[in-house]
Chain A
Amino acid sequence: MKFSVTKEKLLEGLQQVQNVVSTRTTLPILSNVLLQATDGEVHLTTTDLDVGVRGSFEAEVEKEGATTLPARRLFNIVRELPSSEIQIDVDGKNAASIRSGQSFFKILGLPEEEFPPLPKFEDAKVVTIRQKDLRDGLRKTSYAISSDETRYVLNGLLFSMKENKLTLVATDGRRLAMVDIELEIPRSQEADIIVPTKAVTELQRLLTDDGDVKVSVSSGQIAFDLNKTLLVSKLIEGNYPNYKQVIPAEAKERVTLERETFLNSLRRVSLLASEKSNSIKLSFAKNNIDITANTPEVGEAKESLPVQYKGRDFSIAFNPEFLMAPLRNLTEDEVFLDLIDEMSPGVLKIQTPFLYVLMPMRISS
Chain B
Amino acid sequence: MDEKCNQLWQKLSAALKPQVSPDTFKRWFSAVELVGVTDKTLSFRVPNNIYQYWIESNHMAALQAAVLTALGEPRGIKFISSESPVEEIEAISLARQTESGRETKPASGSSLGLNPRNTFESFVIGPNNEIAHAASLAVAQSPARTYNPLFIYGGVGLGKTHLMQAIGQYVLAKKKNVKVIYLSSELFINEFIDAIQHNNLVKFRKRYRQTDLLCIDDIQFLGGKERSQEEFFHTFNTLFDGHKQIVLSSDRPASEIANLEHRLVSRFEWGLTAELQPPAIETRLAILRKKARGMQIKLPDETFEFLANRIRSNVRRLEGALMRVASFASLSGKQLTGEVIEHLLKDILQEEARTSITIEQIQRRVAEHFDVRLADMTSKRRPASIAFPRQVAMYLARELTKSSLNEIGDAFGGRDHGTVLHACKTVKKRMKEQDNIRQTISFIDSSLQR
Contacts and interface: CB of A to CB of B under 8 A. Distances in A.
Nearest to B58: A359
A249 B273 CA distance: 44
B58 A174 contact: yes
Interface in B125-155: 141-142
Given A173-B56, A173-B58, A341-B21, A245 B27 contact: yes
A153 interface: yes
B83 interface: yes
Nearest to B49: A241
A151 interface: yes
B50 interface: yes
A241 B53 contact: yes
A246 interface: yes
A74 B361 CA distance: 81
Interface in A213-263: 238-239, 241-243, 245-246, 248-249
B50 A239 contact: no
A192 interface: no
A340 interface: yes
Contacts of B344: none
B24 interface: yes
Nearest to A150: B92
A245 B49 contact: no
B53 A340 contact: no
B282 to A, nearest CB: 27
A171 B53 CA distance: 10
Interface string A336-365: 000011011000000000000001000000
Interface in B57-101: 57-58, 83-84, 89, 92
B112 interface: no
A148 interface: yes
A239 B58 contact: no
Contacts of B89: 150-151
B233 interface: no
B24 A151 contact: no
B58 A243 contact: no
A241 B20 contact: no
A174 B50 CA distance: 11
Given A174-B58, A246-B54, A359-B58, A241 B21 contact: no
Q: Could you tell me the dominant secondary structure of chain B's interface residues?
A: helix
Count chain A CB atoms within 10 A of each CB in B27, B49, B50 and give the residue with the most: B50
A344 B24 contact: yes
A239 B23 contact: no
Count chain A CB atoms within 10 A of each CB in B53, B58, B141, B142 and give the residue with the most: B53
Interface in A136-177: 148, 150-151, 153-154, 171-174
Contacts, number: 53
A173 B54 contact: yes
B50 A344 contact: no
A239 B85 CA distance: 13
Contacts of A359: 57-58
A248 B89 CA distance: 26
B144 to A, nearest CB: 12
A340 B23 contact: yes
B58 A242 contact: no
B123 interface: no
A246 B57 contact: no
A323 to B, nearest CB: 15
B20 A343 contact: yes
B49 to A, nearest CB: 4
A245 B53 contact: no
A148 B27 CA distance: 24
Contacts of A148: 142
Interface string A81-113: 000000000000000000000000000000000
Nearest to B47: A242
B235 interface: no
Nearest to B56: A173
Contacts of B24: 343-344
B199 to A, nearest CB: 27
A343 B53 CA distance: 18
B83 to A, nearest CB: 7
A27 to B, nearest CB: 16
Count chain B CB atoms within 10 A of each CB in A153, A171, A245, A341 and give the residue with the most: A245
A171 B47 CA distance: 18
Contacts of A174: 57-58
23 contacts: A148-B142, A150-B89, A150-B92, A150-B141, A150-B142, A151-B53, A173-B53, A173-B58, A174-B57, A238-B84, A239-B48, A239-B49, A241-B49, A241-B53, A242-B48, A243-B50, A245-B48, A245-B50, A246-B50, A340-B21, A340-B23, A343-B21, A344-B21
Interface of A: 148, 150-151, 153-154, 171-174, 238-239, 241-243, 245-246, 248-249, 340-341, 343-344, 359
6 closest A-B pairs (Cβ-Cβ)?
A173-B57, A241-B50, A343-B21, A241-B49, A173-B53, A359-B58
Given A148-B142, A340-B21, 11 more contacts: A172-B57, A173-B58, A238-B84, A239-B83, A239-B84, A242-B48, A243-B50, A245-B27, A245-B50, A246-B54, A359-B57
